Amino acid sequence: MADDLASRLLEASELHGDFVLSSGKRSPVYFDKFRFLTDPSLLKETAHAVAGLLPAGITHLAAPEGAATLLVAALALETHLPIAVVRKERKEYGTRSQVEGHAPAGARIALIEDVSTTGHQVLRAARILEAEGAEVSTIVLAIDRGGADHLREAGYWVKSVARVEADGAATR
């Protein structure tokens, strides 16, 4: 049963200590998404849960480059769908593409992100895929830390495996 998956993802990823966050603020807690993405059992369970949230008709998966590629690889094995990886910057040689892998025009893509707080990186990846002629049919976040609302405001259909409230509590 995956009923407690949300709590276990959070428990695996929450580190306690003295951290400087990307904002520059100090915090006694740091959320390290790599902790669940690099645990084979949690990775597999999360991919399975994400697969269960995909609508019918998806032809391709995509993820922004970085940690989310771990999740999208596991999801590809679960769903047998091909992957696109969206680079932060266009590659300067070879294919010179900002989208690696498989995202043909007309593809109906499920865009996958591990954790999203602002939705910015996901939105950027979605725009790049659309510029290539693909359709971003859905966005699935493993953990929504606030990004889903922003992505819905931008017009996307968004689902998440777990949602973290401002007080740190996990919900499904």
* Non-local CB neighbours of 128 within 8 Å, separated by 6+ positions: 86, 98, 99
CA 6 remoteness from chain centre: 15
Residue 71, classed as helix, strand or coil, is: helix
Interacting span for a second copy (CB under 8 A) from 14-22, 120-128, 137-145, 153-161: 14-22
Q: Which is nearer to a second copy, 38 or 171 (CB)?
A: 38
- 15 near a second copy (CB under 8 A): yes
Q: How far apart are CA 164 and CA 143, in angstroms?
A: 7
Of 144-163, which residues contact a second copy (CB under 8 A)? none
Q: Which residues lie across from 143 on neighbouring strands?
A: 115, 162
Looking at 14, 30, 108, 150, which residue binds a second copy (CB under 8 A)? 30
Amino acid letter, residue 70: L
| Residue 43, CA distances (Å) to 30, 51, 108, 146 in order | 20, 12, 24, 21
Of 38-67, which residues contact a second copy (CB under 8 A)? 38-41, 43-44, 65-67
Of 70-109, which residues contact a second copy (CB under 8 A)? 70-74, 76-77, 79-85, 92-96, 100-102
Binding site for a second copy (CB under 8 A): 15, 19-22, 30, 32, 34-35, 37-41, 43-44, 65-67, 69-74, 76-77, 79-85, 92-96, 100-102
